[in-house]
Every structure is written in C-alpha cells, then in structure tokens.
Amino acid sequence: MKTIYLDYHATTPVDPRVLEAMLPFYGPQFGNAASGTHRFGWEAEGAVEVARQRIALLAGAEAREIVFTSGATESNNLALKGVVGAAGAAGAHIVTLATEHQAVLDTACTLERAGCRVTTLRVRPDGLVDLEELRAAIGPETVLVSVMYANNEIGVLQPVRQIGAMCRENHVLFHCDAVQAFGKLPVSVDADNIDLMSVSAHKMYGPKGVGALYVRRRNPRVLLKAQMDGGGHEGGMRSGTLNVPGIVGFGEACAVAAEEMAQEYGRLGVLRDRLKRRLEEGLEGVHVNGGMEHRLAGNLNVSFEGVDGDALLVALPDLAVSMGSACSSHGGGGSHVLRAIGTRADLMQSATRFGLGRYTTEEEVEYAAGRVVEVVRRLREQRPV
C-alpha cells in the first residue's frame, strides 16, 4: 500500500535539484568555510556566499543580513532572546500571539521567567490578530512584536505588512516567523516592514537542520545578543562551523522557489479547493478550522462532526496527514492553535491538517478525499452521534 504524503507543513521532501547541488559538498568539496588559508576553505566559503545571496534575494534583503542557524527553532530563539538580551533593560516587554509556533511561545515563556514582560494576544475566530488589540498592547517598554506570517496548523496569513507598519510607527522591532510562507508567497522584508525573520530549509524542499535569521542592518540596525559563544562566525551572532552542504541546499531551494513559486502556489490553491469541495460534497458536518479568506494555498484544516480522531487516524494508514494534537510537542489538551480560535471541544480531536505541496497530484487529492469520505461515513454509522 502506498502512503500519500499530505503533511507538507511538517516537512517537505528534498527537491532532487537541491540534493544534486549538495552532493559535492559531502564529497570532494568538504572544506570548512572558515578556513581562510587554502582552496578547500575558499571553495566552501564561496558556495556559502552564493547561497546567502540566493536566500537574501528571495527575502528582498541584503546578503550580510542573513545569519545561518540550525533551523527556525534556533532562529526564533535567537531573535527573541537576542533582542531582549541586547535591550538589556530589566522589564523589557514583548508581544506575541497565542497561535505562534512553540519555538516562539516557549522562548517567550523562558524570557518571562527571567523577568521579561510578555503579552500573548488572543486571536479572532478566523485565526487573525485584531490589529487594534495589538496597537493597544504596544507600550513604552515594548521592544519586540513577534507574529508569524502563515500558521503551520491552520494556514492563516496574518496581516504582516500592517503589523510591521504599526511596529515601525511605534519604534518597536518586528520579528516574523515566516517558515510556512517563505518560498511560497512573495515575502519582502522591506515592503512588509520586517526587522527579523525566521526561515527554515526543510519546509521549502531543502534539507533538515539548516535555517536562517534575517537581521536588519539599516533603518533600524537591529542589535542582537549572541546565544552561542565561540568562534564568532556569522558576524558574531551565531558561532559554530557552518553546515556547508545544508546551506548550499538551502540556497538552491530558494533559487528554485524564486522561479517556480508563483505557478506552484496557483496550482496548490486549485488542488486545495478541490479537496475541500470533495469533502463538503461527500459529507455533512465538515468544519473548516480557521478563516479561508487569508490562507496558504496548500493548507486545509477540517474537523468532522461526530467522529473520533484516533479512529479516523487508524482507519487512514494510507494518508500521511497530521491530526488533532500532533502539532504540539507538549501533549495534553490538544492543539493550542485550535484552542485559541475557539474550536468546539468535540471538534478538536478530529481536526485533520492536509498539507499539499510540490509533488501533490490531482489523483492523490481525489483519492484522499474519497478515502476520507468513505471512512468518516463508516465511522459515523458505527458510532451514531
């Protein structure tokens, strides 16, 4: 039995072009990018700088504003802890959303225990921030607002440009976890008024274990306290020998995205809408979690009335989807995102996240929809509401 992969928000397969670009750096071009005295080092450094430029280009940034990390979890940690650390002041205040990724929420929690003041704003039922609530939350001690671009569970797109403008007006830095949007939507740190931005290679057809933090150098220049002591790599912001093959792959993934993302996004929107239509035609009691209006093309998150989530998962071994609480590492209580948008208790655990991506086909979507309809009908017959 073939398993259809519909979990592109969790990770993506490496694009063959990306793998191809990486291989020499696991072979003859194994140099350390920090070795400045010989050709092995220079080759590695050259490749890293090409990748840095490709990532910067896709973000509308300058190459020197890109800091390589081990992934977006580290980027989020570095952004929040780095800004608060550089601000120095006890009682610094940061603002974030209840629906952020754990890497932001847990970091904010750690900062709070260390004396930082944290405001975690709730969201509207459609999953979006209320801009007036955000404005009201910003005060004289606020140093940072951290709001994600696209949510990894329900796919909703926050009004990033307006949030950035509001931060700019108030002289507050704006950090954006753009992992789920980067390489899919046109992201521009200048147009979107972003001062710090977290991105990850493995969410956009690159390798796992490599990411970046964009750190604005001008208007304003962002000061960050490094979180790792060592050799002072990456302009002193992130020490550690660079993952050269990973970085090369990340750069290639960005180059591919720059070429193909517009067309790909359109195609995924059509497929996602088809999936939604098939489910709604085939079943009663299908609830979409999160608003549809501002939403990533490849995302659909739905709950099925009167269906047990575990039974659904067990009955669908041929579909790789994410369900209920799978997104929160902390277990208990289900998804913090679904809770934050006020999902009904009985609809929490059958919440199913379909993530479509580059290799998803029309046939796969038709098959997946058919199987879900069949299984949900059967489960409802077995266990009438």
The residue within the footprint of ligand PLP, chosen from 103, 224, 248, 356 (CB under 6 A), is 103
Active site residue 327: yes
In a 10 Å sphere around its CB, with 0-12 CB exposed, 13-18 middle and 19+ buried, how is residue 242 labelled? buried
Nearer to ligand PLP, 180 or 303 (CB): 180
Binding mask 190-209 for ligand PLP (x = CB under 6 A): ----------x--x------
Catalytic choice (116, 176, 254, 327): 327
Asked if 186 and 58 count as a contact pair (C-beta separation under 8 A), the reply is no
Q: What angle do CA 48, 233, 54 make, to 5 degrees?
A: 25
Binders of ligand PLP among residues 126 to 165 (CB under 6 A) are 148, 152
Contacts of 279 (CB under 8 A, 6+ apart): 286, 302, 369, 372, 373
Return the SS3 of 344. Answer: coil
User: Is 243 among the residues that bind ligand PLP (CB under 6 A)?
Assistant: no
User: Is 299 among the residues that bind ligand PLP (CB under 6 A)?
Assistant: no
User: Is 101 among the residues that bind ligand PLP (CB under 6 A)?
Assistant: yes
Cβ 288 to ligand PLP shortest distance, Å: 20
Asked if 248 and 48 count as a contact pair (C-beta separation under 8 A), the reply is yes
Could you tell me where the DSSP H helices lie in 140-243?
Answer: 160-169
The residue within the footprint of ligand PLP, chosen from 18, 43, 55, 71 (CB under 6 A), is 71
Q: Return the range that interacts with ligand PLP (CB under 6 A); candidates 67-75, 229-237, 302-310, 312-320.
A: 67-75
User: Is 181 among the residues that bind ligand PLP (CB under 6 A)?
Assistant: no
Contacts of 146 (CB under 8 A, 6+ apart): 76, 79, 80, 94, 95, 96, 97, 100, 104, 108, 174, 175, 176, 177
The residue within the footprint of ligand PLP, chosen from 12, 120, 180, 193 (CB under 6 A), is 180
Cβ 35 to ligand PLP shortest distance, Å: 27
Task: Produce one character per residue of 261-283: b if its CB has 16 or more CB atoms within 10 Å, e if not.
Answer: beebbebbeebbeebbebbeeeb
Of 292, 297, 285, 299, which Cα lies nearest the Cα of 347? 285
User: Is 357 among the residues that bind ligand PLP (CB under 6 A)?
Assistant: no
Q: Return the range that interacts with ligand PLP (CB under 6 A); candidates 164-172, 175-183, 302-310, 338-346.
A: 175-183
Binding mask 12-41 for ligand PLP (x = CB under 6 A): ------------------------------
Nearer to ligand PLP, 103 or 145 (CB): 103
Return the SS3 of 133. Answer: helix
Position of minimal CB gap to ligand PLP: 71
Which residue's structure tokens are 């497929």?
Answer: 271
DSSP conformational letter for 214: E
Cβ 74 to ligand PLP shortest distance, Å: 7
State how far the Cα of 20 lies from the Cα of 27, in Å rounded to an integer: 12
In the Cβ-directed half-sphere of 381, how many Cα atoms lie within 13 Å?
Answer: 7
Cβ 271 to ligand PLP shortest distance, Å: 20
Q: Return the range that interacts with ligand PLP (CB under 6 A); candidates 109-117, 177-185, 243-251, 357-365.
A: 177-185
* Contact residues: ligand PLP, CB under 6 A: 71-73, 101, 103, 148, 152, 177, 179-180, 200, 203, 211
Catalytic annotation, residues: 327
